[in-house]
């Protein structure tokens, strides 16, 4: 009994934290409630109810299924649903007409066509380029087609029914679009933009943290609370590693959205995916660096001292660039400081290479060199990142 | 016009390749067609149709929405749908009863309860632990609850309707389960197992390929076709990097599946996720190694010769372990050769470390050392992997 209570309590605490961290989620839930209440009005008002002939159920269903947390997803589902319903509905009516003309073979014709279209539509859902945009539409197509063609066998006023159903779906989708766009809209594009920007900051924090942690002397006393905080920062790059899926789906959804804020309709969302990929390359380096940190055998202190300064300089130059990039994204224009920072970083790289050449032979330890080369490797992805972002910023400005 | 034809042709070629690569997908599509044809029988047979009072539509809808390509996903959706429908249906009837008792406040009571439950159910979909298993159930809950409580305002025989709907859904789900399990079943567990095993082989190929490519002399003539093939192998680790999401969802779905093949009901699927994480750590190292390969400045040939042998030995020892692990997964039991191979790898590491110490000072080049330390770093994840898999194999045996 106690275990169950504890579990529920844990679940509730968890749920509360999610809401506190991101109030947009709570807003979304309120919007769902509002949309459903609005759609229920169709049931309560007799003239409206009679107008759609008891098919008002489909409006409720549309709202429940189509309403998503950001505008892009809702738009894409609405368009998918309406287009697929109309397409499948007219096809279903056509098949039904052919079937009635064919007399005794009616059931056979309907059965075969359902089988064939279901097969084709299900198959198309496996093609990645189609799936990314029309997955939901294909499902609605199968559903509507079978309902209309099979259902037509029993229902007499097929065209009336189809018409009513399309109008209820139109009511449902328009309520959804109205509420998502006009009540505290949550844009997929803005979320993507913020996600990428936050990832830049996280990368910079992790980079600083990892290098500092590695070079830190063992005998320094540790403060518990502080340690946890730095640990959080060190783990920041893990978020970057795992954000691939989110970025791709967001970029896909953002394409459906109309112009909002500082984003135009044809904002180059695919660029964000590329930036994300470049950031993930940086994060791989950090992952390896953190594996180095956990090595059982540590590099001796004198090696650390030898490299320490150059290393810190390089990492701080790199992280400054990352932070500047985050700022640039915030203002969506090119920063004038950028060239200067890139120059700084390049000179730090040179310095580190000089230091490497003067390393005393004895202490030429694999692990230590590991860190250095890591830092060097970070330069390459960062450079890619910079060029990508400069291009991106240029596009935004035009 | 030509552009459109070309696009369609490209799409068709693409679709054909997908089917040829994985016949299981074609089988799935055939199964969907079959299930829909079966469920249409309810429309054609008058006694069956009358038995469910024209609600046969819900059986079709259930089949379309619930039928997924693997058994685990279909099971989970069926369970979610049935449980959520029954729960929401009874709750909806209760709310409807309370509303009718309250006289004039009827609409108010129904409206508020719809708002509240929709809010709570939508919110629960944001809690990750809940979402992983009951996301679909929460949606069906909202849908059924609003349909029953709001619809009850207009429909007189509410209990009859609810009963018919539950029975049609039961018919739909049982047809789905019957077809997924008995016609060429596609198990999420088996797919996960194969995915992990294939990833081991890909990692081993990439490791061999990357190290060989790096040490290869520039002046060797390249054969075009061969080159493409090696390139494919080199990119193998990218699949490993991107398979995190698939692995997690598969492991989640596999839990719903009954015992099949050599897997028991409580097979430790979560272990696969851990193995996947360990493999991804290896893949990060390979990613960095391949960044090294693309460096503009190459290490001079004499350095390569100096390290070449030790490096190749280590990489072949590591990849042998990876291949052995793939074999072990194939036979689902512990291999006797494993200890021997691990010993081999460890000695190769030692040898490489020795070679590193004797490196001539002049050629102490950051990039070159990079490769070495990479190889060293690969050892750590591989060791983790080994211990995990040995544990896993032990569990399978018991």
- Interchain CB distance below 8 Å, B18 and A127: yes
pTM: 0.80
Determine the pLDDT at residue A366. Answer: 41
Instruction: Indicate whether A83 pLDDT > 70.
Output: yes
Residue B234 has pLDDT above 80, yes or no: no
- Interface touch B123/A25, C-beta < 8 Å: yes
pLDDT tens, B88-106? 888 888 888 888 888 777 7
User: Residue A242: its pLDDT value, please?
Assistant: 79
Q: How confident is the model at residue B183 (pLDDT cuts 50, 70, 90)?
A: confident
Alpha-carbon distance of A331 to B236, in angstroms, equals 39
Looking at the complex, does the CB of residue A369 fall below 8 Å from at least one CB of chain B?
Answer: yes
Higher-confidence position of B380 and A229: A229
- Residues in chain A with CB shorter than 8 Å from the CB of B26 are 123
Q: Which residue has the tokens 């305002």?
A: B153
pLDDT in tens, A202-252: 877 877 777 777 666 554 444 555 566 667 767 777 777 778 888 888 888
The pLDDT, as a whole number, for residue A289 is 65
Question: Among A12-21, A137-146, A150-159, A260-269, where is mean pLDDT lowest?
Answer: A150-159
B216, containing H or E segment: none
Residue A36 with chain B: CB contacts under 8 Å: 114-115, 118, 142, 146
Average confidence (pLDDT) over A42-65: 73
Using the predicted structure, report yes or no on whether residue B280 has a pLDDT greater than 50.
yes
Residue of chain A whose alpha carbon sits nearest to that of B124: A15
Lowest-pLDDT choice from A27-31, B63-67, B211-215: B211-215
Task: Inform me whether the C-beta atom of residue A303 falls under 8 Å from chain B C-beta atoms.
Answer: no
* B62 Cβ contact partners less than 8 Å away, ≥ 6 residues apart: B81, B168, B169, B171, B172, B173, B176
Range in B57-61, B174-178, B260-264 the model is least confident about = B260-264
Q: Is A143 on the interface with B (CB under 8 A)?
A: yes
Q: How many CB pairs under 8 A join A and B?
A: 205
The answer to whether A150 contacts B43, with C-beta atoms less than 8 Å apart, is yes
State the nearest Cα–Cα gap between B333 and chain A, in angstroms: 30
Test the B interface: residue of A18, A56, A135, A369 with most B CBs within 10 Å: A369
User: Which chain B residues are closer than 8 Å to A54 by Cβ?
Assistant: 154
Range in A242-256, B37-51, B53-67 with the lowest mean pLDDT: B37-51
Which 64-93 residues of chain A touch chain B by CB within 8 A? 64-65
In the prediction, which pLDDT does A398 show?
A: 36
Q: What is the pLDDT of residue A258?
A: 79
Beta bridge partners of A260: A263
Confidence of residue A274 (pLDDT cuts 50, 70, 90): confident
Q: What confidence score (pLDDT) does residue A214 get?
A: 66
**Cβ–Cβ contact B370 with A under 8 A:** yes
Q: Token pair 């291999």 is at which residue? A: B335
pLDDT at B148 over 60: yes
For residue B15, the model assigns a pLDDT of 82
d(CA A386, CA A394): 12
Do residue B40 and residue A111 have CB atoms under 8 angstroms apart?
yes
- Residue A396's pLDDT is 41
Closest CA to B96 of B161, B163, B153: B153
Average pLDDT, chain A: 74
What is the rounded distance in angstroms from the CA atom of residue A397 to the CA atom of residue B211?
44
> Would you state the pLDDT for residue A363?
39
Q: Which residues contact B372 (CB under 8 A, 6 or more apart)?
A: A366, B307, B311, B352, B356
Average pLDDT over residues A374-380: 46
Cα separation of A41 and B107, whole Å? Answer: 9
Averaged over A72-99, what is the pLDDT?
88
Instruction: Please check whether residue A244 touches B, CB under 8 A.
Output: yes
ipTM higher than threshold 0.90: no
With cut-offs at 50, 70 and 90, classify the pLDDT of residue B203.
confident
With CB atoms and an 8 Å threshold, state whether B11 touches A119: no
Listed by number, the residues of chain A in 192-231 with a beta carbon closer than 8 Å to a beta carbon of chain B are: none
**Across the interface, do A123 and B65 touch by the CB < 8 Å criterion?**
no
How high is the mean pLDDT of chain B?
Answer: 74
**Using CA atoms, how far apart are residues A53 and A160, in angstroms rounded to an integer?**
10
Q: Quote the pLDDT of residue A380.
A: 46
Stretch 27-66 of chain B: residues touching chain A, C-beta under 8 Å: 28-30, 32-34, 36-37, 40, 43-44, 49, 54, 57, 60-61, 64-65
A142 touches chain B (CB under 8 A): yes
A132: contact with B, CB 8 A cutoff = no
pLDDT for B17 equals: 86
Token readout for B115 is: 């708002």
A370 touches chain B (CB under 8 A): yes
* pLDDT over 60 at A44, yes or no: yes
The residues pairing with A263 across neighbouring beta strands, listed in sequence order, are A260
pLDDT > 80? residue B238: no
The answer for B320, left when phi > 0, alpha when psi is -120 to 50, beta otherwise, is alpha
| CA neighbor of A172 nearest in space, from B72, B146, B316 | B146
Among the partner-chain residues B40, B122, B284, the one whose CB lies closest to the CB of A150 is: B40
Q: Which residue has better confidence, B259 or A99? A: A99
State both tokens at B381. Answer: 């994840």
pLDDT grade for B334, boundaries at 50, 70 and 90: low
Q: Write the DSSP symbol of residue A257.
A: S
Measure in Å the smallest separation between the Cα of B208 and chain A Cα atoms.
20
Residue B124 near chain A (CB below 8 Å): yes
Percent of chain A residues topping a pLDDT of 70 = 67
Does position B185 have pLDDT exceeding 70, yes or no? Answer: yes
Residue A34 makes CB contacts below 8 A (sequence gap 6+) with A179, A183, B115
- What are the residues facing B260 on neighbouring strands? B263
* Overall average pLDDT of the B182-191 stretch: 84
* Nearest Cα residue in chain A from B296: A380
Strongest mean pLDDT among A102-116, A274-288, A316-330, B110-124: B110-124
| Cα separation, B226 vs B215, whole angstroms | 17
What DSSP assignment string belongs to B104-164? GGHHHHHHHHHHHHHHHHHHHTTSHHHHHHHHHHHHHHHHHHHHHHHHTTT-S-HHHHHHH
Higher pLDDT, B114 or A313: B114
User: Higher confidence at residue B309 or residue B125?
Assistant: B125
Chain B contacts of A105, Cβ < 8 Å? none
Q: Is A383 on the interface with B (CB under 8 A)?
A: no
pLDDT exceeds cutoff 80 at B182: yes
Contacts of B366 in chain A (CB under 8 A): 353, 356, 369, 372-373, 376
Evaluate if residue A300 carries a pLDDT over 70: no
Euclidean distance between CA atoms B313 and B321, whole angstroms? 12
pLDDT at A369 (0 to 100): 45
Residue of A nearest to B130 (CA): A11
């Amino acid at each position: 009994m106690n275990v169950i209570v504890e579990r529920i309590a844990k679940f509730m605490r968890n749920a509360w934290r999610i809401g506190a961290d991101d109030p947009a989620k709570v807003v979304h839930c309120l919007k769902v409630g509002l949309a459903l209440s609005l759609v229920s009005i169709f049931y309560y008002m007799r003239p409206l109810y009679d107008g759609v002939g008891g098919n008002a159920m489909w409006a409720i269903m549309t709202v429940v299924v189509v309403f998503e947390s950001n505008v892009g997803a809702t738009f894409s589902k609405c368009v998918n649903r309406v287009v697929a319903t109309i397409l499948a509905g007219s096809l279903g009516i056509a098949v039904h007409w052919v079937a009635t003309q064919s007399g005794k073979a009616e059931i056979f014709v309907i059965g075969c066509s359902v089988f064939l279209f279901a097969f084709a539509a299900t198959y198309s859902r496996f093609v990645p380029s189609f799936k990314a945009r029309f997955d939901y539409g294909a499902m609605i197509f199968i559903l509507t087609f079978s309902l209309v063609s099979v259902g037509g066998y029993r229902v007499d006023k097929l065209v009336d029914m189809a018409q009513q159903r399309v109008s209820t779906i139109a009511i449902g989708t328009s309520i959804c679009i109205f509420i998502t766009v006009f009540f505290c809209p949550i844009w997929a594009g803005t979320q993507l933009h913020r996600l990428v920007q936050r990832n830049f900051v996280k990368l910079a924090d992790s980079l600083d943290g990892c290098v500092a942690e590695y070079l830190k002397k063992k005998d320094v006393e540790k403060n518990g609370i502080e340690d946890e905080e730095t640990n959080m920062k060190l783990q920041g790059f893990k978020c970057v590693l795992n954000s691939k899926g989110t970025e791709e789906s967001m970029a896909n959804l953002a394409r459906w959205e109309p112009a909002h804020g500082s984003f135009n309709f044809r904002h180059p969302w695919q660029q964000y995916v590329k930036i994300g990929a470049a950031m993930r390359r940086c994060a791989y380096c950090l992952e390896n660096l953190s594996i180095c940190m956990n090595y059982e055998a540590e590099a001796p202190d004198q090696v650390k001292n030898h490299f320490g300064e150059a290393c810190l300089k390089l990492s701080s130059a790199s992280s400054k660039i990352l932070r500047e990039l985050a700022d640039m994204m915030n203002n969506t224009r090119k920063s004038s400081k950028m060239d200067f920072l890139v120059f700084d970083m390049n000179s730090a790289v040179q310095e580190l290479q000089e230091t490497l050449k003067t390393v005393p032979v004895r202490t030429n330890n694999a692990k230590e060199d590991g860190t250095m080369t890591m830092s060097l490797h970070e330069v390459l992805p960062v450079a890619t990142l910079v060029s990508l972002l400069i291009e991106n910023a240029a596009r935004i400005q035009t």
